[in-house]
């Protein structure tokens, strides 16, 4: 069972709840799942920052509940229909954090376990990144439909007195499913890095 929730907040709502950047949302999203604070994160978050506020989407296994910070008029939730992932083609909308990992070595020249992620800032790199993710996650892009790639956006955030930055790129187009099992896993668990900060959710509409 999979659920999709949408929370729409005005600029005044965001200020009152102090939902000012992606890290604030990273923390606040847990309030949609009371009693799960110590559990493994079983949901995806997408943030669309608008001129007059923010629209957030949550895709989850457990059913989300409306948190105190979301006005009742701004909350909607629905169950994803059975069979939604059985189609062959989908229009998709993906806000992702395309990166590559640099190899980091210690003083002895040994490769460290965790490398450093750097953002991909050029459109040709971003397109190659998405095609590679398609191979990994069981889909390919439909060449007959142009892939729209919005200019990379900067998403600064503050965490524990420190500052960070994610780069978000919005992709829109049509995809063909090549492996239903891997594609379903990507739909439920996201694509790319920084998923807890509002990136990686595939928004899909079947092409019938």
pLDDT, tens digit, 9 for 90 and up, residues 53-90: 999 999 999 999 999 999 999 999 999 999 999 999 99
Same domain, 55 and 123: no
The confidence band for 107, taking pLDDT boundaries of 50, 70 and 90, is low
Task: Give the range of the structural domain holding residue 193, as residue numbers without chain letter.
Answer: 85-206
156: its two tokens: 């600064």
Q: Does the structure show a pLDDT above 90 at 146? A: yes
22 vs 140, which has greater pLDDT? 140
Same domain, 8 and 99: no
112 vs 128, which has greater pLDDT? 128
Among residues 35, 56, 79, which one ends one of the domains?
Answer: 79
> How many Å apart are CA 42 and CA 1, to the nearest integer?
12
Same domain, 38 and 71: yes
* pLDDT at res. 144: 92
194: which residues sit within 8 A by CB, 6+ positions away? 97, 166, 200
Total domains in the chain come to 2
Specify which of 32-36, 38-42, 136-140 reaches the highest per-range mean pLDDT: 136-140
**Could you give the C-alpha distances from 61 to 32, 84, 107, 189, in angstroms and in order?**
12, 15, 44, 10
Same domain, 104 and 64: no
The confidence band for 115, taking pLDDT boundaries of 50, 70 and 90, is low
Among residues 79, 112, 143, which one ends one of the domains?
Answer: 79
Same domain, 201 and 139: yes
Same domain, 68 and 93: no
Same domain, 168 and 95: yes
Same domain, 44 and 99: no
Nearest to 80 by CA among 184, 197, 191: 184
Same domain, 73 and 127: no
* pLDDT at res. 196: 87
Q: What is the pTM of this model?
A: 0.89
Residue 52: CATH number of its domain: 3.30.70.1200
Average pLDDT over all residues of the chain: 91
* pLDDT at res. 35: 79
* pLDDT at res. 81: 94
Residue 172: CATH number of its domain: 3.30.70.1210
The confidence band for 159, taking pLDDT boundaries of 50, 70 and 90, is confident
Same domain, 126 and 193: yes
**What one-character DSSP code corresponds to residue 120?**
-
* pLDDT at res. 15: 94
> How many Å apart are CA 148 and CA 126, to the nearest integer?
11
Same domain, 91 and 23: no
Q: Does the structure show a pLDDT above 70 at 34? A: yes
**Could you give the C-alpha distances from 170 to 24, 97, 149, in angstroms and in order?**
21, 9, 6
Among residues 60, 79, 98, which one ends one of the domains?
Answer: 79
> How many Å apart are CA 188 and CA 170, to the nearest integer?
18
């Amino acid at each position: 069972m999979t659920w999709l929730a949408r929370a729409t907040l005005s600029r005044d709502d965001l200020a009152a709840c102090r939902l000012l950047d992606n890290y604030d949302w990273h923390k606040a999203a847990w309030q949609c799942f009371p009693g799960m604070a110590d559990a493994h994160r079983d949901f995806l978050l997408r943030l669309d920052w608008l001129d007059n506020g923010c629209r957030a989407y949550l895709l989850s296994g457990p059913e989300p509940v409306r948190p105190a910070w979301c006005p009742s008029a701004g909350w909607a939730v629905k169950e994803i229909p059975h069979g939604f992932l059985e189609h062959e083609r989908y229009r998709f909308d993906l806000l992702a954090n395309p990166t590559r990992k640099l190899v980091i070595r210690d003083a002895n020249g040994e490769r460290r376990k965790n490398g450093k992620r750097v953002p991909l800032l050029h459109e040709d790199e971003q397109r190659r990144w998405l095609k590679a993710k398609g191979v990994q996650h069981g889909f390919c892009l439909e060449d007959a439909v142009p892939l729209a790639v919005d200019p990379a956006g900067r998403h600064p955030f503050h965490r524990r007195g420190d500052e960070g930055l994610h780069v978000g790129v919005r992709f829109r187009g049509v995809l063909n499913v090549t492996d239903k099992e891997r594609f379903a896993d990507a739909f439920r668990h996201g694509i790319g890095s920084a998923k807890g900060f509002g990136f990686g959710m595939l928004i899909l509409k079947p092409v019938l």
